[in-house]
Amino acid sequence: MRINTGVALAVFGFVLGATLCIARQDDEQASQVDAEADGRPDGDGEDADFEADIEEAEHGDGHSRRSPTDDTDGSDQDGDDDGHDDDGHDVLDDTDSNGSDDGDDDSYATRLRNAGSDPDHHDHLKKPRNDGSDRDHHDHLKERRNTMGSLVKLDMHKHPYAKCLDGSPGGYFLLHGDPSEFVIHLAGGGECVTKFHCLARAGSALGTSTMMPPKLDFDAPGSLTDTDEKRNKRLAGATMVRVHYCTGDLYSGGITKPSDDTFGLWFSGYGIVKAVLEDLMEKHHIGKAKLVVWSGDSAGGIGSVLSLDHVSDTLKAAGSKAEVVGAPLAGFYFLNSHPYDGFGAVPYMGFDNASIKLYTELWNSTLPEHCTKEYIGREWLCLFSNFSAPTLKTDIMFFTAQTDMFVLPLHNGVPGSPPFNFLAMDSFVRDWARGMRNLISSVVRPGVSAFNPACWTHTYFEGVHVHDLKYQDAFAQFLESPHERRNVLLQDHCKGVSCNDDCAAVLWWSEHLFKAPF
């Protein structure tokens, strides 16, 4: 099996970067998981720890918002079994393969339900056009397209604040395709917050552009920048961009002059994002496109949410009529003020309130403007999607696992992988998954959808179906739907950890091919 070097580098980079920067938190930050939760059926009871996190984050200095938590099952929150939750978004899950019928046969939810049984689903994408050419979508590129994208390093004279940690210029890989559609992916790779780990990172591929290869193969699974037409039918022919991650700041940093406070390093990920967009506008006419998909994975997934509205606003200000949509993979993170501290707990990097505040100060982070206006005095909360998503003005679809195989060990101290044989460990992971389901369902509204399988994975969702749909097909439906119908929650509600039937292959890929260190 061929593994693309870019994909392997990105995943290896995440493991390296995150492992370098983990720091064991004080014992008082952790709380013992109640062992009695193990015997509780999945979805029952209250998620006290996660609700406490939200309450702690939201209430202070006289400022608050409605808590984004829902009923524990996350499916039909108002209890009337009508296929909708309190906020009115369509809820589809594997407990009812037929979903619910609201009487609108043309609704996004209805079309999604029919996807698995209708052999003509997406026929407008796979049937020949009526132009006499007898070619599929983007087939004019199929025979001659080279899948190797070329490295583009940013001009430091034009973009002096778009630098990697070591001061080298930021860069990206570009693969020319259909000029009317762009898919831009921010690569992942963890973060760093201490002098030792950040200096070590600066001397690696995750801190400099001097180690970037001249070419990157885009014929690789695992993202929407995949040229394979069988895996990624809707977007395989688009112009594709993969931004190199070399700043360790979740693409949020705004350092314009390194100092002792920044360990002499450049945390300028947001500067790179802005420079890449300006470069694409000036040299590659992204402003003339009809569609711009703004994506990323892991750290890049978080970063893509932070800059999504900026991308849309910048293109509109330049006169572009392009539709901008977000598609982060594993970019939905939340506070972990109650990490695992039971048997076998491993060192972790805290994602609690106090820690995130320190990180954003170190990086001089730029966070979503509409969110920071809602959380004046606690702007750092906007690093998390459960706080920023309700304030986004640009449509977005999240792709995130209910049990994240990197976040749980590296930010919550959970050792090993399922099945978990220790009571407290298994109980913690089940509660964490329940919290993820509740929080991601709470942000779904017109313009915000989610693909949320019950898998033990991080960014890799190839072959995983929720309600008979793969993530690429679900996103294709999202693109075809109007704003008011982009409110679908594709979420598993099976019993157990990593209980989606398609997860076994994903777990094997993640643990064997990528050699995850746990």
User: Considering the domain boundaries, does residue 132 fall inside one?
Assistant: no
- pLDDT at site 508: 55
- pLDDT at site 113: 41
User: Considering the domain boundaries, does residue 92 fall inside one?
Assistant: yes
Report the C-alpha gap between 260 and 91 in whole angstroms. Answer: 50
Mean pLDDT of 308-326: 98
Mean pLDDT of 105-115: 43
- For 249-276, what is each residue's pLDDT tens digit? 999 999 999 999 999 999 999 999 999 9
Instruction: Provide CB contacts within 8 A for 344, sequence distance 6+.
Output: 415, 416, 422, 425
Instruction: Provide CB contacts within 8 A for 346, sequence distance 6+.
Output: 409, 413, 414, 415, 518
User: Considering the domain boundaries, does residue 491 fall inside one?
Assistant: yes
Report the C-alpha gap between 29 and 350 in whole angstroms. Answer: 9
Report the C-alpha gap between 178 and 383 in whole angstroms. Answer: 33
Report the C-alpha gap between 250 and 30 in whole angstroms. Answer: 25
Tokens of 67: 């808590």
- For residues 323 and 334, which has the higher predicted lDDT (pLDDT)? 323
Domain interval for residue 484: 44-113+144-513
- pLDDT at site 510: 53
The sign of the dihedral angle between the CA atoms of 18, 306, 507, 350 is positive
- For 69-100, what is each residue's pLDDT tens digit? 333 333 333 433 344 444 444 455 433 333 33
Residue 181 near residue 289, CB atoms below 8 Å: yes
pLDDT band for position 416 (50/70/90)?
Answer: confident
Mean pLDDT of 473-486: 98
pLDDT band for position 49 (50/70/90)?
Answer: low
- pLDDT at site 121: 37
3-state DSSP call for residue 215? strand
Residue 402 near residue 430, CB atoms below 8 Å: no
Residue 180 near residue 292, CB atoms below 8 Å: no
User: Considering the domain boundaries, does residue 16 fall inside one?
Assistant: no
- pLDDT at site 421: 87
Asked if residue 330 has pLDDT above 90, the reply is: yes
Which amino acid, one-letter code, is at 218?
Answer: F
Of 234, 244, 301, the closest CA to residue 269 belongs to 244
Report the C-alpha gap between 384 and 38 in whole angstroms. Answer: 28
Residue 427 near residue 39, CB atoms below 8 Å: no
- For residues 129 and 175, which has the higher predicted lDDT (pLDDT)? 175
3-state DSSP call for residue 306? helix
Tokens of 327: 């598609």
Phi first, then psi, for residue 124 (nearest 5°) are -65, -15
Asked if residue 116 has pLDDT above 50, the reply is: no
User: Considering the domain boundaries, does residue 317 fall inside one?
Assistant: yes
Asked if residue 21 has pLDDT above 80, the reply is: no
Which amino acid, one-letter code, is at 485?
Answer: R
Any bridge partners for residue 469, and if so which? 466
Q: For the chain, what is the domain count? A: 1
User: Considering the domain boundaries, does residue 262 fall inside one?
Assistant: yes
**Structure pTM?**
0.78
3-state DSSP call for residue 162? coil
User: Considering the domain boundaries, does residue 343 fall inside one?
Assistant: yes
User: Considering the domain boundaries, does residue 24 fall inside one?
Assistant: no
Report the C-alpha gap between 13 and 18 in whole angstroms. Answer: 8
Tokens of 259: 């100092």
Mean pLDDT of 380-393: 97
Instruction: Provide CB contacts within 8 A for 501, sequence distance 6+.
Output: none
- Please count the CA atoms within 13 angstroms of the CA of 125 that sit on its side-chain side: 17
Instruction: Provide CB contacts within 8 A for 455, sequence distance 6+.
Output: 401, 402, 403, 461, 464, 498, 500, 502, 503, 506, 507
Report the C-alpha gap between 236 and 178 in whole angstroms. Answer: 9
